Each structure stands twice: as C-alpha cells, then as structure tokens.
Amino acid sequence: MSFEYHEGTKHSYESIRNSPNYLDWNTQPSALKIYNKFEDIIKLDGKSDLHNFIYRLGGITDKKTYPSNEYYLRTLPSAGALFPVEIYFQAREVEGFKDGIYHFDVANSSVKLLYELDGDGIESAYEDNRAIKGLIVLYSTIYYRSSWKYKHRGFRYCLLDCGHALGAMEASSYLYDHACVIRYRFDKMQLNEAFGFGEQEFFLASGILGIPKKERIETFNMQLEDINPKYERNEMIEKAYQDSLELSSCKSKYTFWEFSFHKEIFEETIFKRRSIREFTTSTITKASYEAILEIALKPVMSDCDEEVQLYCIVNAVEGVKRGLYLDGKYLKEGDFRKQAGYLCLEQALGSQSAVTFFLTTGAKNYQSAYQKAGIIGHRLYLASEYLKIGCSGIGAYYDDETKAFLQSDDMILYGVTIGT
Ligand SMILES: Cc1cc2nc3c(=O)[nH]c(=O)nc-3n(C[C@H](O)[C@H](O)[C@H](O)COP(=O)(O)O)c2cc1C
C-alpha cells in the first residue's frame, strides 16, 4: 500500500541533482504564532505541575544567535528547525484555568485564553462526545513553515514533527503522573473552521488527559478569525491532507505502560535534548542498544494504531553482529556503514552512527502511521539522551534505494541515527 503523495515526494539520486533547492530567505515564515488581540494570559512560570506539563510540550530550551537572525530550540526536534506545529488545548474543570480554549504562546512562554466555554466544547467534534474533565491538547500544522524550504515534501515533515510533539506529550504526561491517549479520530474540518484556519493551517492530532463525564457536549460555538499571514499555497500538500483525512478501519490500542526513568533525570533529559551533528564512530553497549529499542517498541496508545516497522542497521554495538535487523531478527550480515550513509542522502550521520534506524509502513491511514513514526523517533531521542548517547532524526533519505536495501515494499517514513 502506498499513498500517491508519498510516491510523488520521493528523493532519489537524480531528483536531488536535477532539482536543486534554492531558498528565498526573504520569505521565510516566522515559526512563532502570536494571538496579539487576546489579553487573558497565564505565564508558565514553573509554579505548578500543570504549567510544567505544558512547557515540556514544546517550550524553548535554547537560543541560537547569528549576525542576521536568532532562533529558538525547543523540547522538540524539528526538520530544519522550522517548527510547523502549533499547540492548543481545552481545559475543563482544571485548577487555575478558566474553562476554555488556549493557545500555547511559545515565544512568550505563556498560554493565552482564546475562548471561554459556555456549555459547549471541542468534545462535540469527537464520536464519543462526553465532556472531558481535564485537558484536550490539539496539534495543528502551518505547513508553509516547512514547504517554504522542503517544497512538496514538507507535509511529511509536518507529520513527523507532529509525531515528535505527541511523543513529547507522552513524556511530559509521565512526569505529570497523568495517562494520555492520542486521538486522531475527531472532526478536524469542523475544528479547522472554528479556529478560523483557512487552508494553510490544519489539525493533525489530539491528546486527552482527563476523565469522561456523563454529560454530553453537542456544540462548539467558538469562531476565531484567521490571523495567519497569506502564505504561498501548495496544492499538492493541501490535497494530501484532504486525501488522508478520512481514517478507515482504525484499530484502537489502549495498552497502558509507563516509562521507568528516574523522574528528575528524565526531566533534565527533556530540557537538554539536542540533535547530534557528528558522531565519532565509537561503539555503544549492547545494554544501551537494547534499552533504547525496548522503549521505542512499546505500544503507542491511540485510537488509530498502525503498524510501523523499525529496521536497525547495526554499525557499532559491542557484542552485536553488524548488519540489518528487524524485530530482533537478523536479516543481512555485513558492514553497511557506507551504504547507510548513502541512503541518508549521503549524510555522514548515517554512516558514522552506532545504529541507523529506518521506520516503514504498509498502512492505509497515512497520517496516523506517519505520526506514529515521529512518536517512535521521539522515544529514540529521549531514551538515547537519557543514556548520554547522541541522536538525530533523518528526514532526508533516498526512498526507493532504502526500500531496495531493506527488501521491503513499505513506504519509508523516517530515518533516525544514534551513537556517540
Ligand atoms: C523530522 C526530522 C527530520 C530531521 N532530518 C534531519 C536530517 O536529515 N539531517 C540532520 O542533520 N538533521 C535532521 N534533523 C534534526 C534537526 O535539524 C534538528 O532537530 C533541529 O535543527 C533542531 O535542533 P535540536 O534537535 O538540536 O533541538 C531532523 C529532525 C526532525 C524532527
């Protein structure tokens, strides 16, 4: 099973050479959305567990300054540091928050109240519309932030980045001692409309941290204005979103499990997480490799769980034979360093790593499968960082050549490298 958009956005040796990508720095969109007109603001000052929970969803953890500009790094990695994902949430009966819809204003480390509930709520966009006492976190993407640089392929990165954001929610909720469930099945078009998004921002996923009550919510009366600048449209991406909106034959997975990290160290890990830029080609221990794999392969709790395969090219793990593995099974023996680097669009990260992973799927529900790859990618980042091992996502790879190497017909969704 492949998806037309995916087929049309493959990288190959020829495509990279035949269509070089020139960037127009004058049109780079801001990575920070700010609702200026709304004045009911809560500063995330670290004084409550809930403030900390929200901050960890995507808050700023570092700043890079260059002569011509500066940009922020966050708890989330992001392809090209373009951060196409926006975070909103509904709070109902939550201490310190009026019942309402909020936007996470990352630039100002605060949340802004956009709308106060009045007997209504976003639960009306869900099949099970029982009122949720707690939080419903909503994830949208402003795709031009990514397509500005990555053109048609940008939608893939929006989905991966959103998966990372869901992974950050999973990690943050562990420290907040609340279970979270990912929900892809809600009326996204209804909410896109209510939030006044136009065609250039749209919802991809949501997460629920709360308890369903008996009361049902039938309506949602909010109507916001579109405050996004008018960006250059990308019809292929808008079509891909529409074509993958309808989910079919979804399987829910609600197998509860918990991370078993030392909580204080894990909190530091979230704040310290960075993408590694260069490896030394040294080995990592078998115990570390197995611990990272175990976390990556734990179930992802969602209402539309898709099969995602995790292929491992082992380059340098003490006591583990070099080669290609899937589900712990040895598929091919050999030293594939050079090949792994080549497949990652000739990036040295792929060849100098201890392990280079590729995530693939044959699933029908493209949006949920892609975001699941991002969630697994986020777990690989956090588990590695926790063990003082470097990690980097790899969104740029040769699609068909990777398929041939893995001997798989699946779509290649993501690459991830780990090492020291
Ligand atoms: C989906 C995704 C794809 C990425 N692809 C690449 C890549 O191909 N090559 C690379 O060097 N870094 C890649 N990165 C890492 C980003 O460049 C990095 O996350 C970003 O610059 C922010 O820095 P930080 O992760 O250190 O906070 C990717 C990250 C993500 C989330």
For 131-147, the pLDDT digits (tens) are 999 999 999 999 999 99
Average pLDDT over residues 49-63: 97
Average pLDDT over residues 398-413: 98
Cα of 317 vs centre of ligand 1, distance in Å, is 23
3-state secondary structure 148-170: HHHHHHHHHHHHHHHHHHHHHHH
Res. 1: pLDDT tops 70: no
Average pLDDT over residues 379-384: 98
CB-ligand 1 contact for 55 (6 Å cutoff)? no
Contact, 123 vs 221, CB < 8 A? no
CB-ligand 1 contact for 160 (6 Å cutoff)? yes
Residue recorded with tokens 């640089």: 149
**Residue 26: what pLDDT?**
84
Average pLDDT over residues 321-348: 96
Band (pLDDT 50/70/90 cuts) for residue 179 is: very high
CB-ligand 1 contact for 331 (6 Å cutoff)? no
Average pLDDT over residues 317-345: 96
Average pLDDT over residues 363-374: 97
Which residue's CA is the nearest one to ligand 1's atom 8?
A: 394
pLDDT in tens, 205-250: 999 999 999 999 999 999 999 999 999 999 999 999 999 999 999 9
Res. 419: pLDDT tops 70: yes
Cα of 277 vs centre of ligand 1, distance in Å, is 9
Residue recorded with tokens 């419903």: 136
CB-ligand 1 contact for 81 (6 Å cutoff)? yes
CB-ligand 1 contact for 347 (6 Å cutoff)? yes
Q: Of ligand 1's atoms, which has the minimum distance to the CA of residue 61?
A: 27
Cα of 293 vs centre of ligand 1, distance in Å, is 20
Cα–Cα dist 247/88, whole Å: 22
b vs e for 390-401, b when ≥16 Cβ sit within 10 Å of the residue's Cβ?
bbbbbbbbbbeb
What are 100-107's contacts with CB under 8 Å, separation 24+? 101/222, 102/42, 103/33, 103/35, 103/38, 104/54, 104/57, 104/58, 105/33, 105/34, 105/35, 105/41, 106/32, 106/58, 106/59, 106/60, 106/72, 106/74, 107/32, 107/34, 107/72
**Residue 2: what pLDDT?**
66
* Residue-wise DSSP of 381-394: HHHHHHTT-EEEEE
Average pLDDT over residues 148-171: 97
Longest dimension (CA), the chain: 63
Cα of 154 vs centre of ligand 1, distance in Å, is 13
pLDDT in tens, 76-125: 999 999 999 999 999 999 999 999 999 999 999 999 999 999 999 999 99
Res. 260: pLDDT tops 60: yes
**Residue 82: what pLDDT?**
96
Res. 21: pLDDT tops 60: yes
Res. 173: pLDDT tops 90: yes
Cα of 351 vs centre of ligand 1, distance in Å, is 16
List of domains in the chain: 23-243 (3.40.109.10), 275-419 (3.40.109.10)
**Residue 25: what pLDDT?**
83
Cα–Cα dist 19/12, whole Å: 11
Out of 73, 75, 76, 78, give the residue to mutate to test ligand 1, the one with the largest number of ligand atoms within 8 Å of its CB.
Answer: 78
Band (pLDDT 50/70/90 cuts) for residue 68 is: confident
Which residue's CA is the nearest one to ligand 1's atom 31?
A: 78
Q: What is the mean pLDDT of the chain?
A: 96
Cα of 393 vs centre of ligand 1, distance in Å, is 5
